[in-house]
Amino acid sequence: MTLARPAAMVAAIVAAGSVAVAMPSGQDTAAIARLRAAPGFERYETLTREIVSGRLAFDYAPTWTDDSRSFTYTHQGRRWRFDVATRSSVPLDARAAAQSAPPRPWRVDTRGATDVGDRTRWLSDDARAAIVDVDEQAGIVYYMARDGDNFLKPQLHRARPDGTGDTRLTDPALRHDAVLSPDCRYFVDIAQAHDRVPMLLLKGARDGRTLADVAHADLGTVERLGLKRSEMFSYLAADGVTRLFGRVEFPSTFNPSTLYPVLVRVYGAPESTAQAVDERFSIPAADTELGFLVVTLSSRALPGVGRQAMEGIRGALGRADVDDFANGIRALRERSYVDGNAVGVSGTSYGGYVAAMLLLRYPELVAAASASSPLVVWDDYDPAYAERYMGRPQENPDGYRDGSLLTYAARLRGSLQIYYGTADGNVPPRHAQRLIEAIRAANPHADVEVVVGNGAGHTSVSHVRLLAFFLDRLVSHAG
């Protein structure tokens, strides 16, 4: 098939009158007007402003000094120093707060294997179980393991290099981020859960005993705005065995006797935690104030689910993992306040692929989707990535066919927003163009809104345009 150049193709679609095409002007005037007209816009604007201000951030960012006598951390909008000997904190001036600790001899880089300094010892971090530090003198390894109440709650352990003497140092009911002191006598523990505010604790590295309760997140702004805490729910993956989790965020005016449209945010690429459900405490997305429930789901591709579960989606991307997300939506629809006819899904890159696939394969569950820079077919994508999970096309023809959005283009029943950048070097524009063309060939009257980013790379549709799309397709429909 010969594909038209972007401008020519857009012109052809406009002429056919089958697809609404919106060329970004940089102002998104119509979308902004639609947003301002939505009930709850003032609350949305207020919450957005508070988020931008940093007053709703809960990252302590602890950093030890090289002598292990103190560490600095962020709390209530400023930097503090905690003295281990006196068990007390003092605020720092701007100059002192800007100083950073020297590099550690053992280091872990989340981007992959890291040389620790002598070109002979390397550590790696796969985001599922990571070495935190090594006390070479004592012969103790400190590492994180996913053995909390659920796999989303990593725990700090200590053990000898041969695996003996393994001891868990943290509370399995919470999620933990641990930063050990340079002498490995102490660790700073950030403990939290989706419904528990983060605590900053000083603990002994030998037995995990709490030595000082350093700080708790300030919820003054959260309480002033009346923000609701999120809820977790669980469901079975499509294999009928693997337990997965979802998370729901609510508007401040939430009323369980009211029906709410749903926005599901997805990414879902294998072994990625982007846009993934987790146990970190956070405030609701500002989008909830427009009357949406904002939901995050998981699939067997999520790190920490386990190798056996992950093997269940190998060679079946777009089918097995999307089936998992569909099960999450089914579980969500069991809640009395969820409008099952007004579920929308959005994502970028692999997330755009998942969003579109859910809309095409599960029209009974999903009413609208926004797919930004979506991958469309695996055999026209970077083989180094595609074949890692899908195998070679000639060895897995069924998987490549079933994982192609083109296979299901004729099934479109709901509303689809497609965005692509004309200079995308990751997922070339021809992916989105082929999907648009296939939908148009099958149904000239399909509800498809195309947004083209002239000169843009691997990016997403503007958030106001995305919200305007879902307000029109979900909220107006529900009303």
Q: What does the pLDDT look like over 236-248, one tens digit per residue?
A: 999 999 999 999 9
- Whether residue 109 has pLDDT greater than 60: no
Same domain, 271 and 122: no
Q: Mean pLDDT across the chain, nearest whole number?
A: 87
Between 223 and 72, the more confident residue is 72
Same domain, 407 and 437: yes
Q: Are 284 and 225 in contact (CB under 8 A)?
A: no
**pLDDT at residue 336 in the model:** 97
Backbone angles phi, psi at 244, to 5 degrees: -120, 170
Same domain, 442 and 461: yes
Strands 167-168 and 210-216 come out as unpaired
The rounded distance, in Å, linking the Cα atoms of 28 and 465 is: 7
Q: Mean pLDDT throughout 381-407? A: 97
**pLDDT at residue 15 in the model:** 33
104 belongs to a structural domain: yes
* 131-135 sheet: strands from edge to edge: 131-135, 140-145, 155-159, 167-168
Q: Mean pLDDT throughout 27-46? A: 88
Same domain, 126 and 167: yes
- Whether residue 293 has pLDDT greater than 70: yes
Helix (H, G, I), strand (E, B), or coil: what is residue 134?
Answer: strand
How many domains in the chain? 2
**pLDDT at residue 177 in the model:** 95
Same domain, 111 and 176: yes
The CATH number of whichever domain residue 438 belongs to comes to 3.40.50.1820
Same domain, 207 and 293: no
pLDDT band at residue 437 under the 50/70/90 scheme? very high
- Assign 3-state DSSP to the chain and report helix, strand, coil percentages, each to 5: 30, 25, 45
pLDDT band at residue 116 under the 50/70/90 scheme? very low
User: What Å distances lie between residue 153 and 28, 148, 156, 463, CA to CA?
Assistant: 40, 5, 10, 31
**pLDDT at residue 273 in the model:** 87
- Whether residue 448 has pLDDT greater than 60: yes
Helix (H, G, I), strand (E, B), or coil: what is residue 291?
Answer: coil
429 belongs to a structural domain: yes
- Whether residue 137 has pLDDT greater than 60: yes
The last residue of one of the domains, among 173, 193, 216, is: 216
Same domain, 234 and 306: yes
Q: What is the CA radius of gyration of the chain?
A: 24
The last residue of one of the domains, among 170, 190, 216, is: 216
1 belongs to a structural domain: no
321 belongs to a structural domain: yes
Dmax of the chain from CA atoms? 75
**pLDDT at residue 7 in the model:** 36
Looking up tokens 């909008």 gives 77
Residue 355's domain comprises 6-53+226-478
The rounded distance, in Å, linking the Cα atoms of 65 and 63 is: 7
The rounded distance, in Å, linking the Cα atoms of 436 and 109 is: 41
- Whether residue 76 has pLDDT greater than 90: no
Same domain, 386 and 265: yes
pLDDT tens across 96-108, in order? Answer: 555 543 334 333 3
Q: Are 118 and 107 in contact (CB under 8 A)?
A: no
pLDDT band at residue 308 under the 50/70/90 scheme? confident
58 belongs to a structural domain: no
The last residue of one of the domains, among 161, 192, 216, is: 216
221 belongs to a structural domain: no
Same domain, 110 and 89: yes
- Whether residue 259 has pLDDT greater than 50: yes
**pLDDT at residue 53 in the model:** 76
**This prediction's pTM:** 0.87
Between 216 and 103, the more confident residue is 216
pLDDT tens across 142-176, in order? Answer: 999 999 999 999 999 999 999 999 999 999 999 99
Same domain, 124 and 246: no
**pLDDT at residue 119 in the model:** 35
441 belongs to a structural domain: yes
Same domain, 128 and 14: no
Same domain, 211 and 273: no
- Whether residue 130 has pLDDT greater than 60: yes
**pLDDT at residue 129 in the model:** 54
pLDDT band at residue 87 under the 50/70/90 scheme? very high
395 belongs to a structural domain: yes
